[in-house]
Structure 1
Amino acid sequence: MLPLILLVDDEEDILDFLERTLNTRYNILRAEDGRQALQLLETEAVQLIVSDVMMPEMDGFELCKNVKSNFEHSHIPVILLTARNTIQAKVEGLELGADAYIEKPFSKEHLLAQIASLLNNRNMVREYFASSPLVHIKSMAHTRADERFLETLNNTILSNMEDTGLDVEKLAGIMNMSRITLYRKIKAVSNLSPVELINVTRLKRAAELLASGDYKIYEVSDMAGFSSQSNFARNFLKQFKMTPTEYAHTHQGEKKAEK
């Protein structure tokens, strides 16, 4: 599916222009001010926001502040468009958490390149996290709200690691969140389902234990909450492209080389 982009501007001509520019590459939603945009975010899985700054009801600065301070939406990149080309205006937008600030008039190519860059960078960070055994989940955070959420999520999974039946229902209950809210946030930040993220977190914990050299593989499998050693080995190989044995030997070799 094409990424879903929310366009926010009180001028219909500008919305029409932006939609024509983007609709061959992205799915488009439109809002006429910040309040309407926030209402759409409650029901739609928006992946990026392009917003004008000067609008009635709620301007782009206030919209950006709301998005970046709400953990349900704080992962969404925000591009602000404005004719206010003063340094003070740029600083204000960036301090509120805007990911990019584009001055009007702007070229279509510039806007398209900025959107593609933001979305591609997010995807690269997600892929690096998932494929790298020792990279922490907080590497995917782009705001303080995201960082706090991901740290709490990670600690919750680790605290319940030995529960082989840990799923989104249990996780949401422990974190005092609705299942739908937790599912949407995890999917948006990591591009993984909660079950997949739980599995990756187990595997990363297993990688830490293997790297320490203090445990046998069957012990690591039990400690990471896998139902069997063979299931653990299959999952580890699929995720990190090497077996637990190969991974352990690699780190033992590195420790010997350091000595």
Structure 2
Amino acid sequence: MMPKMDGFELCKAIKTDVDLSHIPVVLLTAKTSDDNKVKGYSLGANAYVEKPFNLEVLKAQLDTLIKNRKLLQEKFRNTIDIEPSEFSTTKVDDNLLTKILEIVESKLTDETLNVQFIASECGLSQANLNKKLKALTGKSTAAFIRSIRLKRAAKLLSTGRYSVSDVTYEVGFTDLKYFRNSFKEEFLVSPSDFKRNNTDEDSES
């Protein structure tokens, strides 16, 4: 038994704190009843390990948690239409990602949008916001903003109705060359080639 609070209370405290909710929680406990397992998972535990435990099994569970987080980060990199619930494991993180996306989308054409503004709007320090997004998406806050701009650019280009130049300014870039380089870094193809390869013929008519 831990001092001041038990494992369930600690798990709940972590998973409901916006600064900490992305941190995986493994409950290592002597409480082996099904009711306790259900309680642990309902509070947001990522794994429930009963005592006495096998160290190799515990290591395997931790490895799986790490791999799953990396898979989510990879999915974020490869997904154009972002759905926050697909990249978060708690309601707190889901709500935060939704809010950040709404902020970026609402100020897409504003090249002055920065980390400080988003952190202030979310009630987080810049450092904690950076850690949060890094854990959930694999990107720093600044890189996240740029990535969302570029994903939006990809969606616009795929309609076939906008030139690369038009899209550049539509998503908040002011330098066409920088936009082209950033787009190629994000999608491994130039914006012109992306438009040519992804435009639906029906959308062009």
TM-score by length of 2: 0.90
Counting matched residue pairs gives: 202
Does 2:60 align with 1:113? yes
Q: Deviations over 1:224-253 (max 9, x none)?
A: 111222211111111111121222222225
Letter in 2 for 1:85: T
What is the deviation of 1:138?
A: 4.1
Does the CA-based 8 Å contact 1:131-1:239 persist in structure 2? no
Instruction: Give the one of 134, 148, 156 matched to 1:201.
Output: 148
2:174 alignment partner in structure 1: 227
Instruction: For 1:175 and 1:83, locate their aligned partners in 2 and report how far apart those are by CA, in whole Å.
Output: 38
Q: Distance in 2 between matches of 1:112 and 1:156?
A: 39
Tell me: CA distance 1:165–1:159, structure 2 relative to 1, closer, same or farther (3 Å). Answer: same
Contact 1:156 1:175 in 2 (8 A): no
Which of residues 116, 119, 131 in structure 1 aligns to 2:78? 131
CA displacement at 1:216 relative to structure 2: 1.5
TM-aligned CA distance change 1:91 to 1:242, over 3 Å: same
Match of 1:95 among 42, 62, 67: 42
- Larger relative contact order (Cα-Cα within 8 Å, sequence gap ≥ 6): 2
Identity among equivalent pairs (%): 37
What is the match of residue 182 of structure 1? 129
CA distance in 2, matches of 1:220, 1:64: 45
- Is 1:143 the equivalent of 2:86? no
Q: Tell me, which stretches of 5 or more residues in structure 2 are unaligned?
A: none
User: 8 Å contact 2:107–2:113 — kept in the other structure?
Assistant: yes
Contact 2:160 2:195 in 1 (8 A): yes
CA shift at 1:170, angstroms? 2.6
Measured in 1, the distance between the counterparts of 2:3 and 2:121 equals 41
Indicate if the aligned counterparts of 2:157 and 2:199 stay in contact, CA closer than 8 A: no
Check the 8 A contact 2:72/2:136 in 1, yes or no. no
Rounded to whole Å, the distance in 2 between the matches of 1:249 and 1:137 is 29
1:137 deviates by 4.5
- The 1:138/1:235 distance shift into structure 2, 3 A limit, reads farther
Q: 2:4 aligns with which of 57, 71, 80?
A: 57
- Give RMSD over aligned pairs: 1.7
Contact 1:134 1:204 in 2 (8 A): yes
Report whether the alignment pairs 1:84 with 2:31.
yes
Q: Which deviates further from its counterpart, 182-191 or 82-91?
A: 182-191
Counterpart amino acid of residue 95 in structure 2: R
Runs of 4+ in 1 over 4 A off after TM superposition: none
Gap runs ≥5 in structure 1: 1-53
The TM-score, its normalising length taken from structure 1, stands at 0.73
> Helix, strand or coil for the counterpart of 1:81?
strand
